[in-house]
Structure 1
Amino acid sequence: MTEPSSEDSHAIRHETEQVVNEIAQGLRTLDVGAAWFSDLSPAHRQKVLQEVAGYAMQAHITATDGRTGVARSGVKPTANPSVMICMDPPRYGFASLPADEHVTAFRVLVWVCCRFG
């Protein structure tokens, strides 16, 4: 697996910001956002998870915010990303999760970040 170039990383950060903002504003559904995320390469999915986890960290989310986000996301509360975001303090190693949990992590993180949307 090759690392995204600096130009790719900048483009993916910009696109991630746009997708998350559109979900928060109700201009894009979480399902459409998750489909966009699923179509990315594994390396880009990891970058997106790091970026969105950074949004959650900057927002200083709490375990309560995590539980609210999990409930809104439709992800099972027992899924690894759900458990991580609901810890006190939340854990942010989502990009290190197995690839088959990345979409679930994206869904949870986006809803936590969009809690005010």
Structure 2
Amino acid sequence: MIVNEIAQGLRCLDDGVAWFSGLCLADRREVLQQIGGYVMQAGSTAADGRAGVARSGVKATANPSVMICMDPPRYGFSGLPADEHVKAFRVLVSVFAVADTRRREMYCRNACGHPWHNLPSAPAEAEQR
């Protein structure tokens, strides 16, 4: 849910990074693998990769940035060294935001039943504050 909230602008990327950074190594690897799957399902292109990297705050020359901008994109982010996991998270979530926004606008507009495309306007945690 956090990834979709970030992708839809309901939560900032830095909040997601804080959550991700608090996970143990095994959980971070699992999250990276899951988000990589989301990026593939969203039909990410090399152009989406470049746009996502630009908004991620990660240098274009960093391993995760190079991997996602290849044509076709290279996955396997969970196999990166642990010190690159936060960069990979930032890149993957940012690329997912670009690709999934395009998919929602092209294919799901006014006809989508995916619950993750129809999130409330504010995350539940923010409503409870």
TM-score normalised by structure 2 residue count: 0.75
Q: For 2:78, which of 74, 87, 95 is the aligned residue?
A: 95
Q: 1:82: Cα distance to partner? A: 0.1
Q: Runs (4+) of structure 1 moved beyond 3 Å?
A: none
C-alpha displacement of 1:48: 0.1
User: How far off is 1:25 after superposition?
Assistant: 2.3
Mark the runs of 5 or more structure 1 residues left unpaired by the alignment.
1-17
Distance 1:56 1:25 in 2: 14
Count of aligned positions: 100
Equivalent of 2:63, from 67, 80, 83? 80
DSSP-derived class of the 2:61 partner: coil
1:43 corresponds in structure 2 to: 26
Partner of 1:15: none
TM value normalised by structure 1: 0.83
Q: Distance in 1 between matches of 2:24 and 2:51?
A: 29
Question: What is the distance in 2 between the residues matched to 1:25 and 1:87?
Answer: 25
Match of 2:43 in 1: 60
RMSD (Å) for aligned C-alpha atoms: 1.0
The C-alpha deviation readout for 1:18-51, integer Å capped at 9, x for no partner, is 1011112222100010110000000000000000
Taking only the aligned residue pairs, the percentage that are identical comes to 71
